Structure 1
Amino acid sequence: MYHNGLYHLFYQYNPKGAVWGNIVWAHSVSTDLINWKPLEPAIYPSKVFDKYGCWSGSATILPGNKPIILYTGIIDSNNTQVQNYAVPANYSDPYLRKWIKPDNNPLVEADPGVNKTAFRDPTTAWLGRDGHWRMLVGSRRKHRGIAYLYRSRDFMNWKKAEHPLHSKAKTGMWECPDFFPVSLKGTNGLDTSVVGNNIKHVLKVSLDLTRYEYYTLGTYNLEKDRYIPDNTSVDGWKGLRYDYGNFYASKTFFDNAKNRRILWGWANESDTAKEDVAKGWAGIQLIPRTIWLDPNGKQLLQWPIQEIESIRGKKVQLSNQKLNVGDHVEVKGITAAQADVEVTFSFQSLDKAEPFHPSWHDIDAQDVCKQKGSTVQGGVGPFGLLTLASRNLEEYTPVFFRVFKAQHKHKVLMCSDATSSSLNKGLYKPSFAGFVDVDLADKKLSLRSLIDHSVVESFGAGGKTCISSRVYPTLAIFDQAHLYAFNNGTEIVTIESLDAWIMSKPQMN
């Protein structure tokens, strides 16, 4: 949340080690979302209503500029989940260091018929025109994912609505739901309570079943308090994702200082628990992203917050560099283990685009990427970047595009393939991928990758498709890491422009 000039991040944290357990709400503050100062934990198990755990939740700013936290507590060894609240002990403390959990908790308990062991992660609340606050709690009934809706006039007495805001069969437990408006015009964000014309709503859920997230765009029916997804994307785990890689349990908030909506996701590990313990940490927050509606109205766009540019250092550039089939050109003069790279590729013709196999319409982009990796020669592509590469390419993480010719249009596949990222055989090394809904009339594709030692966070076509990969090279580390642009397609690809910056180290906790 943003409050009185400071950004506050609360996150699930184990102070006793780099494994799951002993979870508290850790608390850090920042003036710029880049440099962070750690504070003492805001919430930790201490009362009968959260004795067995303090799980995820959200902050809401109440009238009078007063923040309040809703969070899930576990009350017994049977994993019974309830929704609690916490408030600052001293509103005049700029850091809001200490939080209290009043004794009228829990505020919400599961009704009969609600699965009390799958009842968690309350959202930021929004204020309706009728003066009632509303918030969602994620749940499931058998295999149906559910976002239960609760209403309250005073934020203390909550009543479950007769119907969920939305639910969907065969999606399993909905964790960390998020519900917010986006403007049909421009890139500015909206406060969570905004309703009316010229907006759509977004419902995002994190699927415990797949450990992926998906979202839909749709209409919020105020009279019925129901959400109706548009039919422009799948309402299910094959639907749109914020990110097609290591990205989970994300939340957005409205930043009223800069009139933007910020999305922030957690990158889970690809490393083993044993290695996590050796490192002393596990899981990281990715770079915060500004999020807004694509002008086509069918998806969201994302871009790293502008503040990340404040830690850019030395810059190198390439332009009008032709890449024939099999070429890879090194980007020299930067620290390739910690860099920000923006590149625009162009090609003369789409005539050589490979046919899109009809059977692929029924499978995941990730499976296509497995079949058609960065080394499998194509027509238009694969082309892109080889990040965190060792000198002789024993290790590398390619981020690349491949263009296919489908029946009525071209399909663009974007991959971030960790298969060859490390010589360590114990790692989880998937080939992450998503399709990019882009018009190729100008025969150009752009890519931005933020490379940071164990993470490669990539944004295709101006943020239409985003993929984050967690990778742990053994050779391509520190000054032994290299960065290349490559083309393994028979169509000549031109690097129209490439800008790469060394990134300096921010103040991290």
Structure 2
Amino acid sequence: MIYKGLYHLFYQHNPKVPKWNNNIEWGHSISKDLVNWFPLQPALTPNEPYDIKGCWSGSITILPNAIPFMLYTGTDHKNHQTQNLAIPKNLSDPLLREWVKLHKNPLMKPTLDNKINVTSFRDPTTAWLGHDGFWRVIVGSQENKKGIAILYKSKDFLHWIKAKHPLSSAKKSGMWECPDFFPVSIKGKIGIDTSIGGDQVRHVLKVSLFDTSHDYYLIGTYDTTKDVFVPDDEGFDKDELYLVQRYDYGKFYASKTFYDDAKKRRVLWGWINESSLPQDDLQKGWSGIQAIPRTVWLHESGKQLIQWPIPEIEKLRSNHVKLHSKELKPGTLLEVSGITAAQADVEVSFEVNKLENAPELNPNYWKLDPQIVCSQKAKGGGFGMLVLASKGMQEYTSVFFMIFRANKKYVVLMCSDQSRSSLNHHNDLASYGAFVNVDPVHEELSLRILIDNSVVESFGGKGKACITSRVYPTLAINDKAHLHAFNNGTLNVNITRLSAWSMKKAKVN
């Protein structure tokens, strides 16, 4: 949230060991710019009967009286989950360092009457205020394999009543973790407050599916009369979940947005989980990090969201290197030097000639899992960037495009291939992929990559497709890392422009 000019990030944290257990608390850090962070004491620790086995995910809603109310999930000694409330102890403290749990907790809990799964009832969203004066919040749940966004309503934020119908549900999708529900404007990039409705907005429902460890979203209409969300597409009942849109097609989970009223934007935070073994995490001393915050808005087509790193991250740029109008013939490998390749920001645009020579793809390509296609094609053609590459090419992570012909049109596939990312073969060395809705005949193919030692966040098509990879090279580290542009395909490719910057370290903790 942003409160009196300061950004507050609350996050799941185990203070004792870098792994999941019942010690989970709410860490708390503050920032003036979403880049440099200062840690404070934990906001919530498990010390009450209803949260003795962990203070789990939740959200903050700032009420009209400017008081932030914190809803969170607690787990008791029976592993039953409930929703609880905490408020700042001292509103005159600009840092909001201490939080007090309400003596009436829990405010929402499973009972015999409401038929809620006692161990699958968690992660309340930011609340929104309806025209009838009632606050609404959804909580993730499941019944057998049916994923559910349970809707609760309250007049005073203290007494909550379960609605007769969920906001949304899907029969085959499993547990819905960390749901998020928010409006987006149909015009422009401006973000809007969570309680805004009307004809000029669409709504987004995002859920984190426990069974797949991915975040999926649907765009649709919020029917305020029936209190239900009606998606434009089929939703999560599909057998092929890869047909449902995702924020990110790599390692990115349990995400949450908030409305930044200072800069009129909606900002997305996501968790990047590990690619290493648990015993390696113990040796490293950490497990999991936050991705770079992204601004989110509705594409002008109304059919997908666009994501882009917040502009504040550009304050860390230095040592600018530029290339213009560089031809990459098939088989070309071009090093980009003059920057710290282990910690960099790269923006590049490609133009492709003789598209009629592109290879053919199954005409029903849209039914193909792009990750599988990337896994099959990664060692073949494609053009893009090799990041975190060692001198002898024993290690590299490849982020690239492939263009195919299908159904008398051209299809663009974006891949992030980790198969050669590390000589430590115990790491996750998967390939990730996403189809990018761009027309290579009339558009350049743009790619932005944020490289941060073990993290590669890639944005294709000006934010239409995002892939985050977590890699741990053993050779391509620090000043031993290299950056290359390449073309392994059969088509001639031109780099119309390339800009790369070294990235300074943010001040964190």
Residue of structure 1 equivalent to 2:224: 222
Cα deviation digits, residues 385-418 of structure 1 (max 9, x gap)? 0000011211000000001111142211101111
Name the aligned partner's letter for residue 349 of structure 1.
K
Cα deviation digits, residues 454-504 of structure 1 (max 9, x gap)? 000000010000000000000100000000000111111011100000000
Name the aligned partner's letter for residue 365 of structure 1.
P
Q: How does 1:144-163 map to 2 (within 5 A)?
A: 144-163=146-165
Q: Secondary structure at the match of 1:355?
A: coil
Cα deviation digits, residues 230-276 of structure 1 (max 9, x gap)? 02877653200000000000000000000000001000000111111
- 1:323 to 1:316, Cα distance in 2 relative to 1, 3 A: same
Residue of structure 2 equivalent to 1:442: 442
Contact 1:390–1:475 (8 Å) recurs in 2: yes
Cα deviation digits, residues 34-56 of structure 1 (max 9, x gap)? 00000000001111121121110
Q: Give the superposition deviation at 1:111.
A: 3.8
Name the aligned partner's letter for residue 169 of structure 2.
S
Separation (CA, whole Å) in 1 of partners of 2:366 and 2:249? 17
Residue of structure 1 equivalent to 2:81: 81
Q: TM-score, normalised by structure 2?
A: 0.97
Cα deviation digits, residues 321-364 of structure 1 (max 9, x gap)? 10011101000000000000000000123111111124654331
Which moves more between the two structures, 260-269 or 102-111? Answer: 102-111
Separation (CA, whole Å) in 2 of partners of 1:504 and 1:256? 28
Residue of structure 1 equivalent to 2:404: 404
Residue of structure 2 equivalent to 1:167: 169
Cα deviation digits, residues 212-238 of structure 1 (max 9, x gap)? 110000000000000000028776532
Q: How does 1:58-457 map to 2 (within 5 A)?
A: 58-77=59-78, 79-112=79-112, 113-231=115-233, 237-238=241-242, 239-358=244-363, 360-373=365-378, 375-377=379-381, 382-457=382-457
Name the aligned partner's letter for residue 489 of structure 1.
G
- Percent identity, aligned pairs only, is 56
Cα deviation digits, residues 267-306 of structure 1 (max 9, x gap)? 0000111111111111000100000001111000000000
Contact 1:348–1:443 (8 Å) recurs in 2: no
Q: How does 1:23-34 map to 2 (within 5 A)?
A: 23-34=24-35
Cα deviation digits, residues 11-51 of structure 1 (max 9, x gap)? 01011111112111000000000000000000011111211
Q: Give the superposition deviation at 1:102.
A: 1.6
Separation (CA, whole Å) in 2 of partners of 1:104 and 1:397? 52
Q: Does 1:46 align with 2:64?
A: no
Separation (CA, whole Å) in 2 of partners of 1:359 and 1:142? 32
Cα deviation digits, residues 80-104 of structure 1 (max 9, x gap)? 0000010000011010000000210
- 1:111 to 1:196, Cα distance in 2 relative to 1, 3 A: farther
Contact 1:190–1:254 (8 Å) recurs in 2: yes
Residue of structure 2 equivalent to 1:12: 12
Contact 1:216–1:235 (8 Å) recurs in 2: no
Residue of structure 2 equivalent to 1:36: 37
Contact 1:234–1:240 (8 Å) recurs in 2: no
Q: Give the superposition deviation at 1:429.
A: 1.2
Contact 2:61–2:69 (8 Å) recurs in 1: yes
Q: Secondary structure at the match of 2:373?
A: helix
Separation (CA, whole Å) in 1 of partners of 2:234 and 2:434? 16
Name the aligned partner's letter for residue 288 of structure 1.
P
Q: Give the superposition deviation at 1:439.
A: 2.3
Separation (CA, whole Å) in 2 of partners of 1:6 and 1:431? 38
RMSD: 1.2
Separation (CA, whole Å) in 2 of partners of 1:442 and 1:482? 32
Cα deviation digits, residues 102-157 of structure 1 (max 9, x gap)? 21000001243211110000000000010000000000011111000000000011
Name the aligned partner's letter for residue 190 of structure 2.
N
Which moves more between the two structures, 120-129 or 359-368? Answer: 359-368
Residue of structure 1 equivalent to 2:477: 477
- 1:442 to 1:232, Cα distance in 2 relative to 1, 3 A: farther
Contact 2:139–2:151 (8 Å) recurs in 1: yes
Contact 1:118–1:173 (8 Å) recurs in 2: yes
Q: TM-score, normalised by structure 1?
A: 0.97
Q: Does 1:495 align with 2:477?
A: no
Q: Secondary structure at the match of 2:47?
A: coil
Separation (CA, whole Å) in 2 of partners of 1:87 and 1:76? 24
Separation (CA, whole Å) in 2 of partners of 1:233 and 1:186? 25
Separation (CA, whole Å) in 2 of partners of 1:135 and 1:353? 49
Separation (CA, whole Å) in 2 of partners of 1:508 and 1:105? 34
Name the aligned partner's letter for residue 71 of structure 1.
Y
Q: Secondary structure at the match of 1:319?
A: strand
Name the aligned partner's letter for residue 41 of structure 1.
P
Structure 1 residues without counterparts, runs of 5 or longer:
none
- 1:365 to 1:60, Cα distance in 2 relative to 1, 3 A: same
Separation (CA, whole Å) in 2 of partners of 1:241 and 1:185? 22
Separation (CA, whole Å) in 1 of partners of 2:434 and 2:413? 6
Q: Give the superposition deviation at 1:440.
A: 2.4
